[in-house]
Structure 1
Amino acid sequence: MSSLAAVLTPLPVLIPTLAAAATLLAGRRPRLQRTIAVLALTAVVAVCAGLVHLADRDGTIALHVGGWGQSVTGMGPLGITLVVDRLSALMLLVSSIVLLAVVFYAIGQGIRDGDERQPVSIFLPTYLVLSAGVCTAFLAGDLFNLFVGFEVLLSASFVLLTIGASTERVRAGIAYVMVSMVSSLIFLIGLALIYAATGTLNLAELAVRLDDVPEGTRSAMFAVLLVAFGIKAAVFPLSTWLPDSYPTAPAPVTAVFAGLLTKVGVYAIIRAHSLLFPGGAMDRVLLVAALLTMLVGILGALAQSDIKRLLSFTLVSHIGYMVFGIALSNELGMSGAIYYVAHHIVVQTTLFLVVGLIERQAGASTFQRLGGLAAASPLLAFVFLVPALNLGGIPPFSGFIGKVALLEAGVQDASVLAWVLVGGGVVTSLLTLYAMARVWTKAFWRARADAPEGAMSAAAPSALLHDDEDAVFADRDDVGRMPVGMVLPTAALIAVGLALTVFAGPIFAYSERSSDEVLDRGQYISAVLGAGVVP
C-alpha cells in the first residue's frame, strides 16, 4: 500500500467529522458554517476520486488503525481496519458527489422550508455527521465498525428527519426511530452470534473462519444479517416504513435519505452475500424478495396522489433490481447491480430535489393542486423530464443500461425463478415509466385550472395549504420563484446522471472489475490479512 493511499483512506471520515465540530462551534455565524461545510465536502469528493484511482490501479487498500497486538484468531492485527476496494471507492465517490450537491441545494433553499422556529444552526453539523457515518459504513473492514457507521448516520438522520418538529415529521420520526432501533437490535444479535461462533468480527478473518462453521449455523447467521440489512435497504416485506417516513422531511433531507441511506443497506448485503456467505444458500429467498420488492413498490407508487410519496414507492421498487443482481451470484449480475446502485443514487436524489423545486414553484406537491408547470417553467419541466426518463429506463440513459445488464444476467442464469424475475423487471420498468408519465401529465402538461383544486390554488395558493405537508409554504413570499442556488445543484446532478450514460463504457468496465474483485474473495482477504492467507 502506498503512503498516499494510507493518508487518503481515513480522510472521508475525518474531514466531515472535524468539519461538523467546526460548524457546531460556528453556530452563530451562518456564513462561516456554510463555507466550512462546502469546503469539507468538496475536499471529500477530491479524496474519494483519488481513492477510486488508487483502488483501480493498485487493487484493494487496507489500513490498520491502532495495532493492539494480534486478534483472538491470530490471523491479523487487533484494531480498526479500513478497507477500500473498487466497490467501496465507487460508493464513496458517488455518495460524496451527492452529499456536496445536496448541501449546495440546502444552502440555496435557505435550509429552512418552514417557519422561523426551525433550528437551522444544527442542520449543517448534523448533515456532516451523516456524511461521516455513510463514509464509515463504506470503509468498515469489520462488522462492528459497520454497525458504528450505521448508528452514526441513523442518529444524524433522526435529527434531520424531525427538524422543525411539525406534527407530521415527529410522527414519521417516531416510526423511523422505532424501525431503526429494531434493525440495530437484530444487527447486534447477529454480531453476537457471529462472534460466539468465530471469535472475530473482522470481515476478512470471518471469510476464512466461517468456512469451518456448520452449514445450518452459517445459514442462521446469514438470515439474521439479511433481516437487519433488509430493513435498512427497504427490501420487501421490510420496506413499509419508508414511504411514510421520507416524504415528511425537508426536500434536501428527503433527497439525501432516498439517494444514500438505503444504498448503504444494499452495500452491506453485497458484502455479506459475496464475502462472508458465498455459495448461494439464500439466493432463492433473495430472488423472491427482489421480485416482490419490485412489484409491490411500483404498484404502491401508482396508487399515490403526492409526488413525494410516489417517488418513495419507486425508490423501494428499484431496490429490487439491485437485490436481483446480487442474488444471481454471477459476474454480470453483480456488475449490473453495482452500476445500477451508482445510477440510482444519482437519479433518485435528483428527482427528490426536483420535487423541492416543484414545491417552491407551485406551493404544493399533490396532483390535486398541480398543473401547467411546463408552461409556467420550461426549465422545471426539463429538470424533471430528464431524470424521470432515466429512472423509467428509456434508452440510451443509464437506467436502461443498468436494467439491460441485469436482465441479461437473469437470462444467463436461465433458471425458472430468474426468468420470472426478468419478466418482473420488464413489467416494473414499464410501470415506472407509466408512473413518471402520470406526474408529467398531471403536474406539467394539463392546465392548472383542470386540477381538482387548481383554480383556487392558482388564485390564492396559501388558502388551500391546509395540511401539514404543504402548510410550510403557506406564509412564504417566495413561492413561484426557484432560487438559482437550488436549480444549479439539481442541474449538476442531472449532468452526473448523463455522464453515467455518456461514459457508460468505461464506467461499466469499472463495475465489471469491481464485480470480479467482489466475487473473488481472495483479493480482499489477502489485502487485509496478507498474501499468505488462503481463503
Structure 2
Amino acid sequence: MNAWLVAPIAIPLVTLVLCMLWRRNPPLVAALSVLGAAALTVVGLALVGKVADGAILAGQMGGWQAPYGISLVIDRLAAAMVAITGVIGLATVVYGVSRPGDPAVGRDFHLFVQGLLTGVCGAFITGDVFNLYVWFEVLLIASFALMVLGGGARRLSGTVVYVFLNLLATLLFLLAAGLLYGATGTLNMAELAVHAAAGEVPAGGIVAVVLMLLAFSIKAALFPVFGWLPASYHVAWTPVSALFAGLLTKVGVYALIRIVTLVWPQAGLAHEVLLWVACFTMLVGVLGAAAQTEVRRILSFHIVSQVGYMVLGLALATPLALAGAVFYLIHHIVVKANLFFIGGLAARIAGSERLAAMGGLYAHAPWLAILFAIPALSLAGIPPLSGFWAKFVLVKASLDTGAWIAAAVALITGVFTLLSMSKIWNEAFLKAHPQGEGALRRATGSAPAYAAVAVLAAITVAIGLAAGPVMAYAVAAAAQLADPSAYAGAVFAAGGR
C-alpha cells in the first residue's frame, strides 16, 4: 500500500488520538490540532503535485485484491479536495484558537474537528461505495457533536433538524448500497464503472443508484431537499459553521460527481433531471437569501444557491462543464468558509449578527471590511476574483450546449448574490451602529482569526489572478472524470480481478 494513499486518513486520525491522550491540556490539544491540520495541508498539496501529470494513485488495503478488498484511489479531483480540506481545516482550528471560551469546549472542538477531517478525507479517496457510507458516518458523528458544541436551546433546535435530515439521507444511502450489491454483486466503484460501460447494470442496480443520488442530494442540500441547511448552520459556533459551510455539502457534491461520472458518463435522462434540479437550487437558494436578515442565515442560503452551480456543471456533462464544476468546488470552499469566519468576527465586534442591530464596521474595523469585500465579490462573480472565472466557464458551457435557461438562471443568481452581499455591506459596514460607536466592541485575541481570514482572502485573489493554471488543472481533472476506464484501470492494475 502506497503511504501517500493512507496519509490523508492517517494524519487527522493520529492527531485525534494524540489530542485524546492529552485532552486534559487544552493548549497542547490546540497546538497538536494546528500541527495535524498543517501536515494534512502539506500532504494534500504534495498529492496534487503527484497526480498533476495524470497519474492515478490506487491501492488495496490489507492486500485484498479489488473488487473484494478496500480500494483507495486518488486522482486529480480527489487530490485537490484533500488539499483544500487541509487548508480549510487549518484555517478552522487557527480561528478556533482565537476565542476558545470554555477551555473544555475549545478542547472538544479540536477533537471533533480532527474526527470530521478524517471522515471527509476518507470519503474523498475511497474507491468503494460501502466504505463511502462508512466515511460519511464518521464525519456525521463528528459533525453532530460539533453542531451542539456549547449548548443552548437555539443550537439544540438547529441540531435536531440537522441530525434528522442527515440520518434520513444516511438510511437511504445504506438501503441503496444494499440494493446495489444485490443487483450487481459488487460495491467497488471501478467494477461498477466497468459494468456500466458494458451495459451490464440491471434495472435493480439503476434504481439503487438513483436512490443513492437522492441521498447525496440531501447531503449536498439540493432542491427540494435543502431546508435542513439554512435551519441549522447559522446556530453553530462560528468556526464550526464555517467548517461545515466549506466542506460538508461539498462531500455530497463530490459523491454525486464521482458516482454519476462512473456510472453515467454520457449525458442522458439523469443529467436532464440534474439540470433542472441545479436551476431550481440556484434560484430558490438566492431568493431565500434575499429574504433573510441575519448574516449567517443569508450566507447559509447562499450555500444552497452556489451548490446549484456545481451540479449544473455535472448535469451538462461536457468536458468544459465538468472543468467548471471542479473549478467552482475549489473556489467556493475557500470563499464560503471565509465569509462565515468574517461574519463571526463582525458579529463579535457589533454585538449581534442581525443586520438591523449591526453597523459602523467600516470605520471601526476597515481591514475587516476589506477582507469581507474580497470573498463577497468573488461569491457574486466579480472579475478578476475566482468566482468570476468559475461562473464564466459554467455559463459558457451552458451556452455551448444550448442550455439557455440554465445560463440565464446562473446569471440571474449572480446578480441577486451581489445584491445580498451589498445588503450585508450597507447594513453591517456602511451605516452607523444603531446604538452609536460606543456599542462596538474590541475583538480582543482575534489575531489568529484575522490571520486565517487574510490567508483565505489571499487564496481567493490568487486563484483569480492565476486562473490559467488552476483552470488547466480543472480541465485535466474533468478529462479523467469523463474517462471512467482510466479510473478502473488504475484500480485493477493495483491488484484486482
Separation in 1 of the partners of 2:264 and 2:495? 22
Could you tell me which amino acid in structure 1 is paired with residue 221 of structure 2? A
Could you tell me which amino acid in structure 1 is paired with residue 417 of structure 2? T
Match of 1:57 among 49, 53, 59: 53
Question: Which residue is 2:487 aligned to?
Answer: 524
Question: Which residue is 1:79 aligned to?
Answer: 69
Equivalent residues of 2:282, 2:409 under 8 A apart: yes
The change in CA–CA distance for 1:91 and 1:531 in structure 2 (over 3 A counts) is: closer
Partner deviation per Cα, 1:340-361 (whole Å, 9 max, x = no partner):
0000000000000001110121
Question: Which residue is 1:420 aligned to?
Answer: 405
Question: Which residue is 1:109 aligned to?
Answer: 99
SS of residue in 1 equivalent to 2:227: coil
1:47 aligns with 2:37: no
Partner deviation per Cα, 1:381-423 (whole Å, 9 max, x = no partner):
1111111011110011110101010011011111xxx210100
Separation in 2 of the partners of 1:214 and 1:443? 54
Q: How far is 1:249 from its partner? A: 0.4
Q: How far is 1:252 from its partner? A: 0.3
1:104-253 aligned within 5 A: 104-110=94-100, 112=101, 116=102, 119-210=105-196, 211-213=198-200, 216-253=203-240
1:7 aligns with 2:11: no
Equivalent residues of 1:67, 1:77 under 8 A apart: no
Could you tell me which amino acid in structure 2 is paired with residue 129 of structure 1? G
Question: Which residue is 1:369 aligned to?
Answer: 357
Q: How far is 1:216 from its partner? A: 4.0
Separation in 2 of the partners of 1:23 and 1:94? 23
Identity between Structure 1 and Structure 2 (%)? 40
1:36 aligns with 2:58: no
Question: Which residue is 2:435 aligned to?
Answer: 455
Tell me which structure has the larger Cα radius of gyration. 1
Could you tell me which amino acid in structure 2 is paired with residue 235 of structure 1? L
Could you tell me which amino acid in structure 1 is paired with residue 361 of structure 2? L
Could you tell me which amino acid in structure 2 is paired with residue 373 of structure 1? L
Match of 2:427 among 435, 442, 465: 442
Separation in 2 of the partners of 1:49 and 1:460? 43
Separation in 1 of the partners of 2:54 and 2:392? 30
Equivalent residues of 1:347, 1:391 under 8 A apart: yes
1:466-477 aligned within 5 A: none
Structure-1-length-normalised TM-score: 0.90
Separation in 2 of the partners of 1:439 and 1:255? 17
Structure 1 unaligned residues grouped into runs of 5+: 71-75, 449-453, 462-477
Equivalent residues of 2:331, 2:463 under 8 A apart: yes
Separation in 1 of the partners of 2:60 and 2:52? 20
SS of residue in 2 equivalent to 1:282: helix
Equivalent residues of 1:255, 1:353 under 8 A apart: yes
Equivalent residues of 1:129, 1:153 under 8 A apart: yes
Match of 1:300 among 284, 288, 302: 288
Separation in 1 of the partners of 2:148 and 2:337? 19
Could you tell me which amino acid in structure 1 is paired with residue 235 of structure 2? T
Question: Which residue is 1:430 aligned to?
Answer: 415
SS of residue in 1 equivalent to 2:230: helix
Question: Which residue is 1:257 aligned to?
Answer: 244
Could you tell me which amino acid in structure 1 is paired with residue 468 of structure 2? G
Question: Which residue is 1:505 aligned to?
Answer: 468
Could you tell me which amino acid in structure 2 is paired with residue 44 of structure 1? L
Equivalent residues of 1:290, 1:321 under 8 A apart: yes
Structure 2 unaligned residues grouped into runs of 5+: none
SS of residue in 2 equivalent to 1:10: helix
SS of residue in 1 equivalent to 2:234: helix
1:392 aligns with 2:377: no
The change in CA–CA distance for 1:148 and 1:243 in structure 2 (over 3 A counts) is: same
Equivalent residues of 1:301, 1:309 under 8 A apart: yes
Could you tell me which amino acid in structure 1 is paired with residue 37 of structure 2? L
Question: Which residue is 2:17 aligned to?
Answer: 21
Q: How far is 1:218 from its partner? A: 4.4
- Please, what is the CA RMSD of the aligned residues? 1.8
Give aligned pairs, total: 495
Separation in 2 of the partners of 1:247 and 1:238? 18
Question: Which residue is 1:467 aligned to?
Answer: none
1:90 aligns with 2:76: no
Q: How far is 1:182 from its partner? A: 0.3
Separation in 1 of the partners of 2:62 and 2:195? 23
The change in CA–CA distance for 1:386 and 1:196 in structure 2 (over 3 A counts) is: same
Separation in 2 of the partners of 1:362 and 1:482? 16
Separation in 2 of the partners of 1:255 and 1:276? 32
325-334 vs 17-26, which deviates more? Answer: 17-26
SS of residue in 2 equivalent to 1:243: coil
Separation in 2 of the partners of 1:240 and 1:77? 37
Separation in 2 of the partners of 1:276 and 1:40? 35
SS of residue in 1 equivalent to 2:60: strand
Question: Which residue is 1:464 aligned to?
Answer: none
Equivalent residues of 1:55, 1:61 under 8 A apart: yes
Q: How far is 1:533 from its partner? A: 9.7
Partner deviation per Cα, 1:400-457 (whole Å, 9 max, x = no partner):
101010011011111xxx2101000000000000110011111111112xxxxx227x
